[in-house]
Structure 1
């Protein structure tokens, strides 16, 4: 048999009661050249029974059991095991719209310069009811790049990725420690991918994304460990991603403790120009870059604040003309 074009990778730990609906949404895809690889991380709620009912009899694929891992390490192993040229992410409690794969595969075919394509989402609660979006994910490469200076701004479960490009930058990582047990594997991945490749997201919602107050991400956000993990990922990738050689400078910038931030911000703009060709003068006119630059400024950094405020006014005036 030939290798499927796409492999879904899905780590799972106690995926019930949402797992059957998630799997059904994969089975209903209009693009059928795909399989699913699932890594079970020690489920005790009947997840394995459901997976054995579905895979491979209803959906081609493979279930990995008996070696529970962290989220980042299970993603790493799934990526390495998957033979397909394209890798789609999926969580066990989300629902893909039927045309998700067809739309994203077509977009990557039309845009060979892209390593990853994501999408917007429809937010749902535990009862499948739609809820207001917390925020909107930027679709444009430049806006994604700039937003990634502060946080992951690609919806991880929505992406379709070129496997070779992800492996080229080292794949998934989990650099958690006993003192810092949570690792922001998606932010770390986007920082490294965007250091070498372009990423976009479709403004069209292609996934029903479930907000679960008891999920790992939501729990870590409440405990503030998510913020600490993002900062660690930023410090580990600040040189390749933003051109900041000093982790001390990068940390103080992140914490808004630099006495004068503009030289570092201009250095980031020059570093980005060396990679994507957009001139510093043009980047400084982009609202997404100015907004993130402003988020780095300490209150006492009046010179930088005045300088960026002037840029913001110019942008507003230009947009209103």
Structure 2
């Protein structure tokens, strides 16, 4: 394993949240992708069980706890949402470098190796992510990708318009996240809200330019990205950026206008096409 050949590498943690609606088969596959299938195995995995879960999910958790002594399982009595779960997870990590992993996605085998090398090459950065591919059903049924800007300058500029980091792909410095206030609840946008606060706090961003995670998607994804509640969440972020001087009035109006059309006016099928055509498969 490459894990044995990377001498003097930095130790790192992984944070994951799982809750009752997660699929145990997908969850098992996700955990295998960050442990036995990685060229560099994590030194610490903090798994927050966000409220009661099924016996099947508990069996998967028990399987990995038994196989790897790097798991720290934290069980919450009731579901408190992703932002709350990740805030608890980050607080309980052992190491300064932390990778984020979702409960049903699949990290490529060299993901952590690439990110650790990036931090070694560019010690000034606070967070590094990468591109993602998206699949439906079988893992080789790739239906899209999301390519994001690579340099700090391009990321900071792009962040004024859309989220420039793929949340499921990031590895960051604990201090940089906590000094910006850490994860906080913000409907469907806990990550973007955190990156905005890190942006305002002077954090240095980067993306590898390579694909780090294969993300499980479906038509339901586009339904979740529409409607009043999702629009209100996005509008709240625009208000926050404008209030704190991250964007000017012109950018604010354009951003809100686009979101009114995509999230409140377009039907799901057309919204799905818009996301695939304009929000995927291209940088910037």
Q: TM-score, normalised by structure 1?
A: 0.69
> Shift of the alpha carbon at 1:47?
1.1
Number of aligned residues:
243
1:235 aligned to 2:239?
Answer: yes
> Shift of the alpha carbon at 1:48?
1.7
The unaligned stretches of length 5 or more in structure 1 are 176-181, 258-321
- Relative contact order: is structure 1 or structure 2 higher (C-alpha 8 Å, sep ≥ 6)? 2
Partner of 2:192: 187
1:223 aligned to 2:222?
Answer: no
The correspondence for 1:147, drawn from 158, 162, 165, is 158
The correspondence for 2:38, drawn from 26, 29, 48, is 29
> Shift of the alpha carbon at 1:11?
0.9
Deviation per residue, 1:166-194 (Å, 9 max, x gap) = 0011100114xxxxxx2410110111112
> Shift of the alpha carbon at 1:56?
4.8
Which has the larger displacement, 234-243 or 107-116? Answer: 234-243
Contact between 2:132 and 2:215, CA under 8 Å: does it hold in 1?
yes
Contact between 1:192 and 1:241, CA under 8 Å: does it hold in 2?
no
Larger Rg: 1
User: Counterparts of 1:151-166 in structure 2 under 5 Å?
Assistant: 151-166=162-177
> Shift of the alpha carbon at 1:120?
1.0
Partner of 2:65: 55
SS at match of 1:79: helix
SS at match of 1:65: strand
Which has the larger displacement, 39-48 or 200-209? Answer: 39-48
Contact between 2:44 and 2:93, CA under 8 Å: does it hold in 1?
no
Deviation per residue, 1:206-227 (Å, 9 max, x gap) = 211111334xx54421335333
The unaligned stretches of length 5 or more in structure 2 are 1-9, 259-284
The correspondence for 1:206, drawn from 206, 212, 222, is 212
Partner of 1:43: 53
CA 1:91 to 1:183, structure 2 compared with 1: closer, same or farther past 3 Å? closer
Structure-1 separation of matches of 2:216 and 2:82? 18
CA 1:198 to 1:106, structure 2 compared with 1: closer, same or farther past 3 Å? same
Partner of 2:147: 136
CA 1:103 to 1:236, structure 2 compared with 1: closer, same or farther past 3 Å? same
